Homo-oligomer: A and B are copies of this chain.
């Protein structure tokens, strides 16, 4: 109904992407199988190939969608730098499957035009969030900010953080980011 016309299935492209997100959120990207997605959508095993070409094609679409969602999340975060960082972490937690694909370029075609456009947009939003603070040059601040939120999100998602950090990732992230920008 939304972007590809409704034929036999309705909106298979979206259904496959949604199913992929669901599977990966539970079992990680390694557990993804095109045939399983097709089964969940109630179509034949070769149907996904029509929409995405191959597995990398599906993950490319997912990565593009992820960068768009990230840009949206950063755009809604307001002007404060710490809020932007917390929004980055919140996006990673809430859209775990997207996030995990986005930063694994060996899984998809990172030079895809849609991916490049969405990634550029998200990157600029992230950088403008840091623009007004200065220290050793804005580049260093931006890189440090990106590193600390990306690292925190990654560590949280991988389960590497000790329980002592607490159950609320965004609250913990706020504390950590404030340590960088007091």
A176 touches B147 (CB 8 A): yes
Chain B residues lying within 8 Å of A34, measured Cβ to Cβ, are: none
A104 touches B176 (CB 8 A): no
Contact for A179 among B105, B140, B151, CB less than 8 A: B140
Chain B residues lying within 8 Å of A105, measured Cβ to Cβ, are: 158-159
| A135 close to chain B: CB less than 8 A | yes
Q: Give the residue among A27, A144, A175, A178 with the most B Cβ atoms within 10 A.
A: A144
Q: With A147-B151, A176-B140, A179-B135 in contact, is A159–B110 under 8 Å at CB?
A: yes
Q: Number of copies of this chain in the oligomer? A: 2
Name 13 extra pairs, CB < 8 A, besides A104-B158, A135-B179, A147-B151: A30-B107, A103-B155, A105-B159, A140-B179, A143-B161, A144-B176, A144-B180, A147-B152, A147-B176, A148-B148, A148-B151, A149-B151, A151-B152
Chain B residues lying within 8 Å of A178, measured Cβ to Cβ, are: 136
| A165 close to chain B: CB less than 8 A | yes
Contact for A104 among B27, B28, B175, CB less than 8 A: B28
Q: With A106-B28, A180-B180 in contact, is A155–B144 under 8 Å at CB?
A: no
